Chain A
Amino acid sequence: MTATAKGAGAAITALPSTLALRIQDLNYTYPDGTVALEHVSFEIEKGESVAIVGPNGAGKSTLLLHLNGILHSKISRGAVEILGEPIDPKKVHEMPKKIGIVFQDPDDMLFMPLLFDDVAFGPINLGVAKDEVKRRVKDSLLRVGLAGYGSRVSHHLSGGEKKRAAIATVLSMDPEIIAMDEPTANLDPKSRAELIEILKTLKDEGKTLIIITHDVNAIPELADRVIVLHKTVIADGTTREVFADSGMLVAEGLDVPTIMQFFEVLQAFGYPCGVLPLSIDGAVRNLTETIENEAGHIHLHIHKHTHTEVGAVRGKYQHHHAALGHLE
């Protein structure tokens, strides 16, 4: 397994006060003996936006539940520090001031009679004054595009609305760090786009974001840094660094953004491209630059190695060959 050079993760030697999260040798084994996390260590700085990727069952959600002390074990006492303080499992209810967690299934998060009550639940627990609670609920609902939904019954909302509502229930607690488990999963394209917009706004506001996701096409827009987790940290670096190591990603059953794959195919057709773009925005920039450099047009052609090269690129990202090879 190739490990990408620790970019942002190792480079941080700054003062502890700028650290949002510090995990040092976190281990967790489920009561049935399944090892979920082994020697997980990384640090996240305040204001950073980090995507955590990894195959199903890699321990991502388990890691998430460690971030506010819901899951904890004796062997890893004090392994997780939030804003410079180790987590006390007895004080989980005080954690939301620092870190808010958005669960994968919004139905788990919406349990009060009305949406207003769900969004108000956190701040009331934190002892926020009544008027301030009301203001925060209104503000949080507005920020996720659900203004005026306070009197709705949560379980009658659509899937996309529920996802956004779940985020609002965390925003109302105004935590420094927001950790989310697959925020863009199971959404239609419009809802997904809306959700990405919300997350981008949060990122721009300077919130520390930890986003667990399989949505590789959304990562370049949302995260500056990617951590590949498979029981332990496989790779940790800037988004570009991690995506550059396609061999490692494919070996882990993961992918690179479609745009990146497409530009690799273009290279086989003779497109001059030093750094592969990761997103549509990047592609537009890349194309513009290339065309300007090549005097107003780009030149693609087919030579005798083109097909082999295209085949090689495609083969690189085809998971099912490896997985189902024995059936053929």
Chain B
Amino acid sequence: MISEIDRYAGIVSPIHRWDPRFRLVSIFALIFSVILLYNLQLVVIGMIFAIILTCISKIPLSFVLARMKLVFIFVIPFFVIIPFTVIGDGVEIVSFGGITLSYRGIEYVKFAAMIVIKALTAVMLIFPMVGTSRMDITIKALEGLHLPNKLVQMFAFTYRYIFVLDDEFTRMDRSLASRGFKRRGNLYTLTTISKAIAMLFVNSYERADRVFYAMRSKGYSGTVATLHEFHARRQDWVNTAVVAGFAVLLQVAATSDTFSATRGFL
């Protein structure tokens, strides 16, 4: 069973109290601001801010870190790839069939670190952004922000069908296991798994159809049905000013001389 990102939506914190519409826009702006940075120091500052926000939201750090592990595994190879593959006047180590392995020095390790921290910061910010209210309310907030309805629906169904896929996979996995199937490193395992995945998509498609039928039968016409109503208070604007202001500040700092020294990596 996939654990939902909104598992801790029920706890109380300043971030939870923040109007989801404002929260989504502010933190989204912050994510973009961090991604657009090309300065290690500023990225680290962004990271610290992200950690502070996550702590304020009271979402357990273990929950956040467990989910960031996957992203970390995905970005960690950059430490190895970037210092040796960036084209330029580095020290050539070996050239093989058009692929050149060269070493360009320690700054590129820093560059790799910057990319890794940027990625981790962006992912971490997702938790205070969408992990602090129930998914249907987040989706309602997207609607409240006048996002095109097609996009909102795509988002809603993508989220909903993750669980359909997961359910179907669990069922199939149990069915395979109960008939003595064990994953090994052979061709039989591969063909079985690939067939199972093909069936997974067929089953999920049909299941998704039925869920959609049920939604239609209950009057679904494209708008999110939740009783939740948004009321912006002064505190919502203050929070927005702080977070969105910080996002702007990072960009302003990036253009100043103090931090622009390391700009222009690429």
Contacts and interface: CB of A to CB of B under 8 A. Distances in A.
B193 interface: no
B210 A124 contact: no
Interface in B221-242: 221, 223, 225-227
B225 A113 contact: no
Given A108-B207, A108-B210, 14 more contacts: A92-B216, A93-B220, A108-B214, A111-B214, A112-B136, A113-B6, A113-B136, A117-B136, A117-B225, A117-B226, A125-B221, A126-B219, A133-B227, A170-B218
A252 interface: no
Nearest to A101: B217
Interface in B182-233: 207, 210-211, 213-221, 223, 225-227
A65 B209 CA distance: 12
A277 interface: no
B213 A103 contact: yes
Interface residues of A, number: 31
A124 B225 contact: yes
A130 interface: yes
B110 interface: no
B142 to A, nearest CB: 16
A249 to B, nearest CB: 29
Interface in B103-136: 134-136
B210 A105 contact: yes
Contacts of A238: none
A287 interface: no
A70 B218 contact: no
Contacts, number: 75
Contacts of B136: 112-113, 117
Which DSSP category, helix, strand, loop or mixed, fits chain A's interface?
helix
B160 interface: yes
Interface string A143-173: 0000000000000000000000000011001
A72 to B, nearest CB: 12
A68 B207 CA distance: 19
Which 4 A/B pairs are nearest by Cβ-Cβ distance?
A: A125-B219, A93-B221, A124-B225, A122-B218
B219 A94 contact: yes
A100 B217 contact: yes
B139 to A, nearest CB: 11
A117 B215 CA distance: 12
B214 A125 contact: no
A134 interface: yes
Contacts of B210: 103, 105, 108
Contact of A111 (B215, B223, B227): B215
A121 B216 contact: no
A112 B227 CA distance: 12
A120 interface: yes
Say which size band chain B's interface belongs to: 20 to 34
Secondary structure at the B interface, as helix, strand, loop or mixed, is helix
Interface string A267-284: 000000000000000000
Interface string A240-272: 000000000000000000000000000000000
Contacts of A212: none
A135 to B, nearest CB: 12
Contact of A108 (B213, B223, B226): B213
Nearest to A170: B218
Contacts of A124: 225-227
B213 A121 contact: no
B219 A65 contact: no
Contacts of A107: 167
Nearest to A100: B217
Interface in A70-111: 70, 92-96, 100-101, 103, 105, 107-109, 111
A125 B213 contact: no
Contacts of B134: 113
B227 A120 contact: yes
A181 to B, nearest CB: 11
Nearest to B219: A125
Nearest to B215: A111
B19 to A, nearest CB: 19
26 contacts: A65-B213, A68-B216, A68-B217, A70-B213, A70-B216, A96-B218, A101-B217, A103-B213, A107-B167, A108-B207, A108-B214, A117-B136, A117-B226, A120-B225, A121-B215, A122-B218, A122-B219, A124-B226, A125-B218, A125-B219, A125-B220, A126-B219, A130-B227, A133-B227, A134-B227, A173-B218
Contacts of B211: 108, 111
B153 to A, nearest CB: 13
Given A120-B227, A134-B227, A111 B160 contact: yes
A120 to B, nearest CB: 6
A76 B237 CA distance: 56
Contact of B217 (A70, A113, A117, A134): A70
Contacts of A109: 214, 218
A124 B225 CA distance: 6
A203 B91 CA distance: 85
B225 A121 contact: yes
Contacts of B167: 107
A107 B226 CA distance: 19
B225 to A, nearest CB: 4
